[in-house]
Structure 1
Amino acid sequence: MNDHEFLRVYDFVDRLRTPFLGVADVEDEASWRMVHYIMRSELEGYPVTMSKLALVSGLSHGTAIRRIQDMIGKGLVERRPSPDKPKSFTLHPTEELTTLAVNYAAETKALIAEILGGRGTEEHETNYYFGAPRRGNPVIPPINLLKSRVTEGVELQFLLNDDNYFAAMRNMWSDFRNNLASARSFKLVHQNDLYREGLANGQRSVSAYDIIAIDMPWLGEFAGRGLVMPIGDMIRESGINPMDFHPSIWSTTTWQRVEYGVPIYCTIEVLACRSDLFDGAGLALPRTFEEVISAGRTFHNSSAERYGIAWNAARMPLASSFMFFLGCCGQTVLSIRRTPTGYSTENLDRQHMRPQIDSEAALTVLDYMHRLLEIAQPGALDAHWDDSCAVFLKGQSAMGYVWTMRAAQFEAEVRSAVKRRVSYVPQPSGPGGTNTSPIGGFLLCIPSNIDPKRLPLATEALAWMASREAMKEHVKNGFPVAPRFSVSADPEATGRSQLVRFVGNLGNRNLLRNWQRPPVPFYTDMERIIGEEIHDALSGGKSDRAALKDAQNRLDRIIDSTIGV
């Protein structure tokens, strides 16, 4: 349950309790007022003082103070020193109270859905979503899909990545009032499992899914193997306008000039910085490799569990980091075509798919990575994306390389210790390079072996999921997705999140890049090889030069076996 859903449930209950007080005098009304107030204030970032919480309770001052002290004694509320006023403190819910409050919201949500949404008591509350009140212009679901489910029992099946954006998409479809789908229709799996299941699905005589998500760099392999359907004509017939997408983002849908999918969201890897720490130290936000290291050394204090940077250096994320950092030095991992504005992954041939890893720029990148480890959290060489994000979320690091989609947690998570304390900058540059903003994200594709009878519904669903209205709804709920210009320019959408504004601004300034991870047919093998070799160098198993040379030679052999000599 995310913050938005939690607050909707609690606001509903708060409004429901007022008329009930006219029926019976509920003895715990004061406790309810205090719990509701302290939880809302924690989520929205407002300080709570002893006197304010006492006033909210509606009790006499002395009685209220005793009630608050009792809650502190029971481990439900804790006092923390005020950052602004010496010798003062603020009140916060403990982890125990937060857990109790979230569980209560879940139970209430199930009761409301049973009464108002036509949901049976046997259906678990996680199978549907407590959506926002329908005001203004609601997002209207596809009529044919709704009709097919109600009259024919047809329910589309989705294979998606297990992340907060696709979870929100599942919530939109499974909103307890529209009965468009159930959460069971959505299979959300880890990225590695998504890749394996996508390949396995292509070997079936009939696809188990109507729509699948693939990581953008996988497109060359999935299209080259004939696992996903060319959908250029269907896209235009559905009303999706490619001109409404940033060119760099729309280009991720094409392989050898054929369109195979629709970009459902873009996420940008950026450097997140604790603005309160940088301001307190009088430091500017870093723009170069050297400034990152210098700032990290300033803040790093491992004995106090405060680290210069939160970094994911396990093998798989390490491969992406290497390719991104190489781009920050002005070089690509493959010999793709150079253009006036960078590089192009369009219409790649054998000549432009040769590795160029064994280089001086790559040595510079490895030197930077070694120094990052010195200021990173313990165990960084085993950390994946979620691990490093959790370190930053707890307030234990001054900086963190992070995808913007994951960074949304910094403001949205109930337990975030860094709310309203984070600023973002494009990836800092290395020698000879620029501040690049590498694009990641997922494409929605239709499997080539889909049951032909289900293709029209799948096409309609794809168009709706990628529509301006649906994407705007996600942005309004705090997800920094801006592949459409019309969404990133919408004041209602951009006004809700600095991340949405940040990503939209990068797109408007044409600073988004997709060439750091070229979508070649051997991408996953390339990612695996780079991750293994760079990890060996950072862990001391090999010298830097040996690791780069071995990566170059191994990749040469893979490319020769994939595309021919």
Structure 2
Amino acid sequence: MNDHEFLRVYDFVDRLRRPFLGVADVEDEAAWRIIHYLMRSELEGYPVTISKLALVSNLPHGTAIRRIQGMIDGGLIERRAASETAKRFTLHPTARLSNLAINYAAETKALIAEIVGGRNNEEHEADYYFGAPQRGSPIIPPINLLTSRVTKGVELQFLLNDDNYFAAMRNMWSDFRNNLASAKSFKLVHQNDLYREGLANGARAVSAYDMIAIDMPWLGEFASKGLVLPIGEVIRDSGINPMDFHPSIWSTTTWQRVEYGVPIYCTIEVLACRSDLFDSEGLALPRTFDDVISAGRAFHNPAAERYGIAWNAAHRPLASSFMFFLGCCGQSVLSIRRTPTGYSTENLDAQHMRPQIDSEAGLLALDYMHRMLEIAQPDALDAHWDDSCAVFLRGQSAMGYVWTMRAAQFEAEVRSAVKRRVAYVPQPSGPGGTNTSPIGGFLLCIPSNIDPKRLPLAAEALAWMASREAMKEHVKNGFPVAPRFSVSADPEAIGSSQLVRFVGSLANRNLLRNWQRPPVPFYTGMERIIGEEVHDALSGHKSDRAALKDAQDRIERLVDRAG
């Protein structure tokens, strides 16, 4: 090491440690250990006692107690009683200490990004992401994208759903080492706003985005209105191999036999079961509607805040539930073509888009939903997907219908009460049906009104985001997406998640289905009608037969208006 390098390293260390004086009055190892341990425990939800904090400091006990007491007197640490009657107390960072610690982390992040990542020191720290250390082979970003940003200042613009997966994607792009984009290039919005903004963007002369995400069932509407580009040629030139995707998953990219996007992630709705509770009662995991109700009644104990099932029965998720349960009874919501394995959404015409809700299968699905309400949490009729997931996460239910993307929280969430206590099964079958596993998720599409000069970069970005390497990285970070066989079969990916193994087994056994929510041009209107009418039936405002008839009639008129 020469003198120049030696001085540069020491200057970096000095610059790195100096801001910590703004957090604690002294900048020594004991102050660092105390504050680091206290902040980490607060974020992870672990109680901290004064004796534990003194031990962590590595100071002599008396010195440590005096140091901690000084920080309490100085307004950095506060005592809180463990309960109203307890004499013991726990220690927590004050709001002042939390703000100082966060500011220090931001300064440190900016300094490392400036020195290691080559980021401009005038760029706001919120515009890039401090990623985890890269282990093994790093993901190599496309050189054209990197060159365009560095030399020409060109940043691709994305419209995405506001969820954990797309937040992780934004972080990967804005990682200070990749230097591909800034966080402000990613617009993450709620699913309803994503739909509205996607339609509004299509009305613009030139798209505001180079890439948009659309919910899989929206494809028929976006494609038939000409809002997204056919990308078959892009796929062939990019090296993306459709054969590496499960056929049911790849078929979600196709409307009337034309490919319009790439499945960026898939999520499967399954039944999560508390394996510890089922084992303690000697019960087999449910395979049918009746099994679910029987097990739910055995575990349901509202007085102890324990429910048979966590269920989301607000209007929008309720529409999906009804279509899935109808599929479990062997029937599709529309008169789409039957196949040996279910139904096909390919090459639909007017006669294959008629509703068939007012049926015996519809009554069976509603009967099951009524019985589930009896064993669900009290506010089920107002619960959305995240609400019911939270009930299960807290350990308050024995079962729960859940998308695998959200189910990842059960093992990854610090405060999960069900960690390592969950088993997953395909959706239980209804009378005359099978154990179906409905596919959901998002497609990445290129807007049809994209600036032609930006299309090559958008195509390269799409290929990289859907690559095996990028998807594997997301799986390793806790997102059980695995729409590609090569990812779900990868030993490292399989070892990282029980859900990856489960979804991979469903794919290998050909148990994934995409026809329960057919991607017809009037899907969103049909979804709204079903949600309203089924909710009226479950809340007692209409009889089941009246609700099904009204839904059937309203969707018939919707189909006629759609031509």
> Corresponding residue for 2:180?
180
Structure 1 runs not aligned, ≥5 long: 1-12, 80-90
Q: Alignment partner of 2:204: what SS?
A: coil
**How far off its partner does 1:277 sit?**
2.3
CA contact (8 A) 1:388 1:400 kept: yes
Structure 1 residue 106: Cα displacement? 6.0
The change in CA–CA distance for 1:92 and 1:260 in structure 2 (over 3 A counts) is farther
Q: Aligned pair in 2 of structure 1 residues 541, 35: CA closer, same or farther (>3 Å)? A: same
Q: What's the offset of the Cα at 1:25?
A: 5.1
Paired AA for residue 398 in structure 1: A
Q: Out of 100-109 and 523-532, give the one that drifted further.
A: 100-109
Q: Percent identity?
A: 82
Partner of 2:29: 26
The residue aligned with 2:369 is 369
Amino acid of the residue matched to residue 166 of structure 1? Answer: F
What TM-score results when the alignment is normalised by the length of structure 2?
Answer: 0.86
Larger radius of gyration between Structure 1 and Structure 2: 2
**How far does residue 136 in structure 1 lie from its aligned partner after superposition?**
2.7
**In structure 2, do the counterparts of structure 1 residues 64 and 294 end up closer, same or farther at CA, with 3 Å as the change threshold?**
farther
SS in 2 for 1:323: helix
Distance in 2 of aligned mates of 1:97 and 1:542: 55
C-alpha distance in 2 between matches for 1:521 and 1:285 = 38
Query: Are the counterparts in 2 of residues 78 and 92 from structure 1 also a CA contact under 8 Å?
Result: no
Cα offset for 1:38?
Answer: 5.8
CA distance in 2, matches of 1:463, 1:474: 15
Shift of residue 494, structure 1, vs aligned partner: 1.1
- 8 A contact 2:494–2:501 mirrored in 1: yes
Q: Deviations over 1:266-316 (max 9, x none)?
A: 100011122222223332222211121122222222233222221111111
The correspondence of residues 310-389 of structure 1 with structure 2, limited to 5 A, is 310-389=310-389
Q: 2:316·2:528 contact (CA, 8 Å) conserved in 1? A: yes
Summarize the Cα distance change of 1:39–1:278 in structure 2 as closer, same or farther, 3 Å threshold. Answer: farther
Answer yes or no: is the 8 Å Cα contact 2:249–2:439 preserved in 1: yes
My pick for the range that moved more, 122-131 or 285-294, is 122-131
- Are residues 1:505 and 2:488 paired? no
Matches within 5 A, 1:436-447: 436-447=436-447
Residue in structure 2 matched with residue 5 of structure 1 by the alignment: none
Match of 1:225 in 2: 225
Q: Distance in 2 between matches of 1:51 and 1:500?
A: 42
Q: 1:67 to 1:503 in 2, by over 3 A?
A: farther
Matches within 5 A, 1:21-420: 26-28=29-31, 31=34, 35=38, 58=58, 108-119=108-119, 123-420=123-420
CA distance, structure 2, for counterparts of residue 124 and residue 160 of structure 1: 22
Partner of 1:10: none
* Contact 2:34/2:53 (8 A) holds in 1: no
| 1:543-562 alignment, distance < 5 Å | 543-562=543-562
- Distance in 2 between the 1:288 and 1:442 partners? 29
Partner of 1:83: none
Give the Å deviation of 1:400. 1.3
Q: 1:171 to 1:350 in 2, by over 3 A?
A: same
Moved over 6 A (4+): 47-57, 59-71, 76-79, 91-104
- Seen in structure 2, the aligned counterparts of structure 1 residues 489 and 352 have a Cα distance that, compared at 3 Å, is same
How far apart are residue 464 of structure 1 and its match? 0.5
Once residues 322 and 373 of structure 2 are traced to their aligned partners in structure 1, the CA distance between those partners, rounded to angstroms, is 14
Amino acid across the alignment from 2:528 = R
* Superposition CA RMSD, Å: 3.3
Q: Which amino acid is 2:352 matched to?
A: H
1:132 is displaced (CA, Å) by 2.5
Distance in 2, matches of 1:302 and 1:341, equals 40
Of the structure 1 ranges 226-235 and 126-135, higher mean CA displacement relative to structure 2 is found in 126-135
The whole-number CA distance in structure 2 between the counterparts of 1:430 and 1:98 is 56
Structure 2 unaligned regions, length at least 5: 1-12, 21-25, 84-89
Q: 1:220-243: per-residue Cα shift (whole Å, max 9, x none)?
A: 111111111111011001110101
* TM-fit CA distance, 1:126: 3.7
- Which residue of 2 is the match for residue 475 of structure 1? 475
- 1:393-542 to structure 2, matched below 5 A, reads 393-542=393-542
Is the 2:331–2:361 Cα contact (8 Å) retained in structure 1?
Answer: yes
Distance 1:93 1:298, change over 3 A: farther
* Alignment CA distance shift 1:132-1:538 (3 Å): same
Shift in Å at residue 381 of structure 1? 1.2
* TM-score, normalised by the number of residues in structure 1: 0.85
Report the secondary structure of 2:343's partner residue.
strand
Distance 1:391 1:105 in 2: 33
* Residues matched between the structures, number: 531
Residues 377, 455 of structure 1: alpha-carbon distance in 2 compared, 3 angstrom cutoff: same
Partners of 2:350 and 2:333 in 1: CA distance = 14
Per-residue deviation, residues 471-503 of structure 1 (Å, max 9, x unmatched): 011011010011111101100111101011111
> Which amino acid in structure 2 is aligned with residue 304 of structure 1?
A
Task: Please state how far the C-alpha of 1:418 moved relative to its aligned partner.
Answer: 2.2
Q: Distance in 2 between matches of 1:291 and 1:107?
A: 56
Stretch of structure 1 that moved more, 536-545 or 267-276: 267-276
